[in-house]
Amino acid sequence: MTRESLLDVEDLSVVFRQRGRADVRAVDGVSFSVSPGETIGLVGESGCGKSVTSLAIMGLLPKRGVRVEGRITFDGTELPALPADKLRLLRGRDLAIVFQDPMTSLNPVVPIGTQVTEVLTRHRGLGNGEAREEAADLLRRVGIPDPSRRLREYPHQLSGGMRQRALIATALACRPRLLIADEPTTALDVTIQAQILELLKTLVAESGTALILITHDLGVVAGMCDTVHVMYAGRIVERAPRHELFADPRHPYTGGLLASVPRLDQPRGARLEPIEGSPRDTIPWTSGCAFAPRCPNRIEECTPVAPDLLGDRHGLRCVNPLRSDRPETKAVPR
């Protein structure tokens, strides 16, 4: 795995420090790798550290008050050790990211055209005319009709779905080798969500881009990812190939996430099963499993020592996992 992988994240920790307050360990010893053409999912509730992980890979975390530990290796290069100007050359060209909210991720006072072409002129050295043609082509490829008109327009003249397409077009402009999509469909209508996901899927398949898909929506993961990493409170609690994870979830948190997805094959009026409590009801990993306070399978061994992530193909961080043959999770939710 490691030999052919494009990005290796090893033991990544991100600590936010604030004067007068205890340090917050938003990401805590996370490791994973992605190979070219592979799609992995980082799944978890809000605040579990998945977005911080993506910002750490991109080097977009604020410099002050944040400590990043561990190794992030992209194609043999240690990203955190790279000087700022070298990293700027990689960002937007080899590493690209699509953010969650298309309504706020585009500059309101700059035409769409400029926002797409500026990556092309910066990283591919295109002239203005060439860049505009290329930009129109990109917009057409992501399914924006009448692209030359759209290039002249401003973000407020486009719908949310259009804007997200424009952002995806920008991210793909330099044919990045790694694309991070951070909740790319959360802010969009359900019908648009499917289109955007389909679009990402085709583009990744066509260009062999490695994709890290960050989401809290297991439905999105089901259709897209090769491997899924489930995060809780800054750590990966379960890691498995997609089919295995859906067919045989072992961690009670993963099980809870799956059970809380609404499904069409359930009778109408059947209650959704929420995970008890909220992400605030965690305990620090230093005093046991952070999920223990919310866990239905909780036993005495869950505290005070946190379990390690064990298992190679199907990684699991749990001392009392779910039994491995739960028939009701066989159907893959979509």
Segment near other proteins (CB under 8 A); pick from 35-43, 117-125, 210-218, 225-233? 117-125
Binding mask 169-208 for other proteins (x = CB under 8 A): -x--------------------------------------
**Residue from 123, 177, 235, 250 binding other proteins (CB under 8 A):** 123
Return d(Cα 262, Cα 12) in angstroms, integer. 33
Q: Where are the beta strands (DSSP E) in 217-328?
A: 227-232, 235-241, 315-316
Task: Determine the residue type at 183.
Answer: E
Residue 114 binding other proteins, by CB under 8 A: yes
C-alpha 127 chain-centroid distance: 33
* Locus of tokens 């359930």: 266
Minimum Å gap between C-beta 90 and other proteins is 7
What is the per-residue DSSP string for 273-284?
Answer: -PPSS-TTS---
What is the per-residue DSSP string for 136-151?
Answer: HHHHHHTT-SSHHHHH
**Residue from 119, 139, 203, 211 binding other proteins (CB under 8 A):** 119
Nearer to other proteins, 36 or 111 (CB): 111
Q: Give me the phi and psi of 17, to 5 degrees please.
A: -115, 135
Nearer to other proteins, 58 or 199 (CB): 58
Helix H or strand E encompassing 11? strand 7-16
Segment near other proteins (CB under 8 A); pick from 24-32, 143-151, 154-162, 264-272? 154-162
55-58 — which CB contacts under 8 Å span 24+ positions? 56/12, 56/14, 56/27, 57/7, 57/9, 57/95, 57/180, 57/212, 58/91, 58/95, 58/97, 58/180
8 Å CB contact between 279 and 233? yes
Minimum Å gap between C-beta 246 and other proteins is 31
Binding mask 1-40 for other proteins (x = CB under 8 A): ----------------------------------------
Angle at 146 between CA 141 and CA 147, to 5 degrees: 55
Segment near other proteins (CB under 8 A); pick from 66-74, 95-103, 191-199, 308-316? 95-103
8 Å CB contact between 219 and 262? no
Nearer to other proteins, 109 or 264 (CB): 109
| Cis preceding-peptide flag for 304 (omega within 30 of 0) | yes
Minimum Å gap between C-beta 271 and other proteins is 36
**Residue from 9, 106, 178, 258 binding other proteins (CB under 8 A):** 106
Minimum Å gap between C-beta 207 and other proteins is 18
Minimum Å gap between C-beta 318 and other proteins is 35
| Residues that contact other proteins, how many (by CB under 8 A) | 32
Return d(Cα 100, Cα 85) in angstroms, integer. 26
Which residues in the 40-79 window bind other proteins by CB under 8 A?
58, 60, 64
Which residues in the 75-94 window bind other proteins by CB under 8 A?
87-93
Nearer to other proteins, 85 or 265 (CB): 85
Which of 116, 98, 84 is closest to 209 using CA atoms?
98
Q: Which residues bind other proteins (CB under 8 A)?
A: 58, 60, 64, 87-93, 96-97, 99, 101, 104-111, 114, 118-119, 122-123, 154, 156-157, 167, 170
